[in-house]
Every structure is written in C-alpha cells, then in structure tokens.
A and B are shown apart, each in its own frame.
Chain A
Amino acid sequence: MSEPIVNVQQVTKTYHQGAVDVHALQNVSLSVNAGDFAVLAGPSGSGKTTLLNMIGALDRPTRGRISIGGKDAAALKGGELARLRLHHVGFVFQAYNLIPVLTAYENAEYVLLLQGVAASERKRRVTEILSSVGLEGLEDRRPRELSGGQQQRVAVARAIVATPDLVLADEPTANLDSRSALDLIDLMKRLNRERSVTFVVSSHDARVIDRAGRVVLLEDGKIVRDERQSADDS
C-alpha cells in the first residue's frame, strides 16, 4: 500500500558478554508500513527489545541494513543517529519516562524545543496534543503528581507531538494497573486510527497483543511468525 517506513533487512545483532557471544537477533527481516499497529511479541530473551532498539535507531546491527524514513541508519554516527531519532521516531518506555523536574506540558514540549520549533507553534501543538490524550487541566502537574497511567499518557503525547514517522513503545503497560493499561491501549489505537500514527509496540501483555493489527512473534532472535490479524477494537 504505502512506502515502508522502516525496512529491516537481514539484520543480525551479537553481544559480547565476557567470553560468551549472545546472538540477540539472527538474520531478521521486517518491514513496517505507515499506519501499522504492530506488536513484537515473545518471551523475554527472544530479542524483541533488541529489535525495537534497532528500529528506533537506538542501536546498530552487527550485520544487515536498516532504513528509517528512507534513511540508512547503519551508516550513521552517534550524533546523526540522535538527529534521526529526533525527527523521525517517538518513544514510550516502560518506566522513568518523564523528566521529573518538568511539568507535563514541559515534558511534551521538550522534543519540539530540540527541533527548534517557534514558541507560538509549540504552544498550539502541545496544548492540542495534551487535550487529545485526555490530560486537559493537568498540564502544570509534575510527574510525581500524576498517576502511572497519566504519566504514560504524557509520554505518548510527547512521542507524537512532533508527528514522527513512527512511535515505538517498549512494554508500555507493564507498570500499570488493569484499568490504566486498557485506557492506554485504547488511546494508542485511537491515535493510530484517527491520526494515522504508526505504532510498533514490544509487549508480552496479552491485552496488547489481542488488539494489535499485526503480530510479529520472536523466539531466540528469529521471527517465527509475522501475521496480520483483525484487531479486537472493543
């Protein structure tokens, strides 16, 4: 349908831990298209986090090619990778997402500042995004004044405020209670639907996997299954 946003081609990643070699990814290939809501699933140690880091230009493959938004990530140096992330990728992490001394508004604003967006434009976009994730009225709260679920919403807001090519989420629901977890998944799905935000989520939470539009199952560093499914939108 559309141009793949991310193209992972025969990527291998090997870590050296002392005398032992750990093969985190072995000859993995994957394409993510615009509008996808893909979940990387698998037990711990399967390589899903490593794959996510690859896609997000947080790490470099030992072998193989990765292109993000049309750019070849493998050839880039540290500083250029950072710039790539800044303009093309949004992140939601499992924990320690937000900068503790900044308010919700400022946390969301941070990426726009890094990009050099003008003040008035920043204000417009941040206010809009915070209300769209349902945090209207809570802009001036610090992370410690927000619940876990609210903090993750801020993280999501921050991830999409700069309209990146895709948003990567690493176990976003792991530290949340049931209610907040479901709310977060619904939020992500809504954003995927209404704003065409592409999501790649790494999770072993069944509720997340059930609602995925595409599930990529990994085992021992290899993709064993990659299929689309009709998403459960309830």
Chain B
Amino acid sequence: MTLKIAWRSFVRHRVRSAITSLAVALGLAMMLVFVGFADDTHARMAELGIRMGSGHVLVEGKGYLDNQTLDYLVHDADRIAASAARIAQVKHVAVRLKTSGLLSAGEHSAPVLISGVEPGREVLASDIAGPKMRVAGAYLRSLDQMPYAKTPPDIYLGKGLAEQLAVTLGDRVVLNLSPPGDAEPTAGAFRVRGIFRTGVDDLDGAYAEIPIAAARTLLGLPGAATEVALLSDLAHTEEVAAAMKAELAANPDLVVIPWQVALRGLHEALVLDSAGMYLMMAIVYLVVAIGIFNTVLMSVSERTREFGVLLALGTSSRRLFAQVFAEALVLALISLTAGLIIGLSIHGWIATHGIDLTQWLGDVQFAGVAWSGRVYSHLTPQVVVGWTAVVGAVVLLSSLYPALRVMRLEPVEAMHHV
C-alpha cells in the first residue's frame, strides 16, 4: 500500500515529477558520459606515455629516479630481463641504457637524450620504434645484424632533431658522451637510419636511439642498463610490480617502480584532470540536491492535510516517514533508470564511433604525451553501479529532511493546515 500510494503520488503530478526526474537523470547521464570519456582518454594517454620509451613497470638502480645519472645502474640487465619475461601478464621486456650527450653534424649540434636499446625488443615495446611514428627510413639494426663492420652503427632520431642538425637518412652524425667515473668524454659516429615524429617536442627535438651494444661500448659499461622495462597492461600493473619485487628480493640496490612513479608528471596531470571533473560534477549535484529537497518539501507540504487524515486514522509517524521515503525511492528508481538509459546510450555511441577532437584541439601536448585523433568511452560495471549508487544516495539524502519533518506532524494541526 505504501508503494502504491508512493507510485501514484509520483504520477499524479506528471509535469513536476518529470522535471525533477529529468534533473536527476541528466545528472547521472552526464556523470557516466564524462567518466567514460575521461577513463578512456586517461587510459589511452597513460598507454601512450608508457609505450613511448617507458614501461608499465620499470626496474632501475636505486637512486636513478632522482638523479638520472650513470652512477645508478642495473648491472646484469639481461638476466633480469629474462626473469621478467617469465612473469605472467608481462607482454614485452625492454632493456635500455640512457644518458645525455651532444649530437653534432657538420656545423650544427644539439643536446640529446640518447637511449641505447635492443632493436628486436624495442620494436615490440615502444611505439617510437614502430611504423606509426616513423616518418622516414627504417628502425635500428642491432650490431650483430650489421653485415659489414666498416659502417657506423645506426641512429634513430626525432624529426625536430634531424631538422636542427640539418641531416637526413644516411647522413653521419657524431655523438659525444660522458662515461661515469673519471673517464674521458667519448665520441662515436653513427649513421641516420630512421626518423620519427611523436608530436611531443621534447622527444622529437632532443631524443635519439642507438643500439645498446654501441652505447655500452662507448660508455664502457658491458651488460649494464639504466632500466629494464616491463610492458603489460594498465589493469595488471600492480600484479606485475609485486611479482617483479618478489623476484628481486635478493637485490637491495634495485628498485621496482610502477609507471605512476616513473611518469609522475603524466600521472599527476591525469589525477588533476579527474579532480577537475569531479569538482564540476559535485557542483552540479549540489544544485540537483537542492532542487530535489525543494520539490519533495513542496509536495510534502501540499499534502499536509492528507497526512493529517492518515495520522488520525491511526497511521504511526514511522509509517508516515516510510511513506514519504517511499516516494523518494520511486523518484530515485525512475530517474536513475532514465539516467542509465540516456547515459549508457550516449556512452555506447561514443564507444563505437568515437569523437574526433582534432578540429578543436589540434595537437595537444599534456604532461609529455601528444594526444590527437579520436576519443572513445570506457565504462566498467563497477563504475556504472558506483555512480548510480552515488546519485541515488544524493536523491535519498535530499529527501531525508522533508521525510523526518512529517514525523513531527500532529493530526489535528495538520488537517487544518492552510
């Protein structure tokens, strides 16, 4: 009976109920669309960043993260890479030796971050090595793939860097490096094998890759690396990190760091972006809550006489509270259902077709990741249920005060309410 009265009271004022439900439904729908959008975008950006020369989980020498010099190395990198490859959920492993130096060609020179890589592994682990970002030439060959020892080793550099040095495919460049310890600076000649373009100025203008063997020789660091990168997927990052930590329990001078730490700037930027979105939605929900509060209060107020009669007939205050609350429940159910339908439909459309933002944004670089092309939407059941529950809670909480107020009604007074 309580539900019967609640439902029919809802339907009785069609326009008012529709308007109130609309506000809630839109609130939920918007949340789902924004969250889906943001989750997808963030996941893509994270993956992009991870696959541009980093990894979901990195093994580094202790202290490398803060200092970024060759004094903090991963020795015996190949063995560690082998054990990393055995971990379930690890798709690829890459071994890299990174340092900074000066690249010169003729009268031009430019500072560069150089990454010594294993071409066979790197092409699987990093998109920079792949065909999408390669704009000219081919990728590196490892030294044992080079047929004739007389040719200088390959170098693979960014478009901006190539332009600065005024070099193109086949040209010779000289790389000046500084080995750790008190050794003298060294130099090596390389031949431009390929040119890439990531869209990130820092990479395109100041990053290049060479075979790790060449780097190790120039620097006098056999078998060493600055990082061993494990590529997996976002969902399994924690698992993989834990497994790797267990493997390396006996190595106190190695640390295992997840991408959120390695790419701290990117991670924090994504968190900030989410925070901004939640702030916006909180503001919207505040206004929705006030609207519901007002509407429920109004509808309760106009039925004071009716409630008076119910009390006179012997309805307990508690039951009356349940009555009003039941009406809030009906409102919540209807509007949440509507919101889910609207929100999930839009989500479905975006997830299938995507939205092309390039006409508005062009190429945006955000926290070191270049972001262009289509954006999609990604929602998990947990997220959908979670936000539906939140909006439902907002509706019910906003109705709480009006519902509690009816408990204080006296039958005679109420029946004579103006």
Contacts and interface: CB of A to CB of B under 8 A. Distances in A.
Q: Direct contact between A and B in the complex (CB less than 8 angstroms)?
A: yes
Interface of A: 53, 56, 58-59, 78-79, 82-87, 91, 93, 96-102, 106, 109-111, 113-114, 158
Given A97-B309, A100-B12, A101-B12, A78 B317 contact: yes
Interface stretch (B2-10, B118-126, B191-199, B253-261): B2-10
A58 B313 contact: no
A109 B1 CA distance: 10
B177 interface: no
A96 B313 contact: no
For chain A, what secondary structure do more than half of its interface residues adopt (helix, strand, loop), or is it mixed?
Answer: helix
B312 A91 contact: yes
B4 A106 contact: yes
Top-6 shortest CB links A-B: A86-B314, A101-B8, A85-B314, A96-B305, A113-B1, A82-B314
B8 A96 contact: no
Contacts, number: 63
Of B5, B9, B314, most buried by chain A (CB within 10 Å of CB) is: B314
A102 B315 contact: no
B169 interface: no
A110 B313 CA distance: 9
A191 B196 CA distance: 98
B351 interface: no
Contacts of B269: none
Nearest to B310: A99
24 contacts: A58-B412, A78-B317, A79-B316, A82-B311, A82-B317, A85-B312, A86-B313, A86-B314, A91-B313, A93-B309, A93-B312, A96-B415, A99-B306, A99-B309, A100-B306, A101-B8, A102-B5, A102-B8, A106-B1, A111-B313, A111-B314, A113-B1, A114-B319, A158-B313
A99 to B, nearest CB: 6
Given A59-B412, A96-B309, A87 B314 contact: yes
Given A58-B412, A96-B305, A96-B415, A101 B314 contact: no
Nearest to A50: B412
Of A78, A91, A101, most buried by chain B (CB within 10 Å of CB) is: A101
A20 B2 CA distance: 41
A110 B317 contact: no
Contacts of B311: 82
Interface in B304-350: 305-306, 309-319
A116 to B, nearest CB: 12
B406 to A, nearest CB: 13
B306 A53 contact: no
Contacts of A102: 4-5, 8
Interface string B23-54: 00000000000000000000000000000000
A97 B305 CA distance: 9
A141 B190 CA distance: 94
A58 B319 CA distance: 17
Contacts of B306: 96, 99-100
A59 to B, nearest CB: 6
B116 interface: no
A114 to B, nearest CB: 6
Interface in B369-418: 411-412, 415
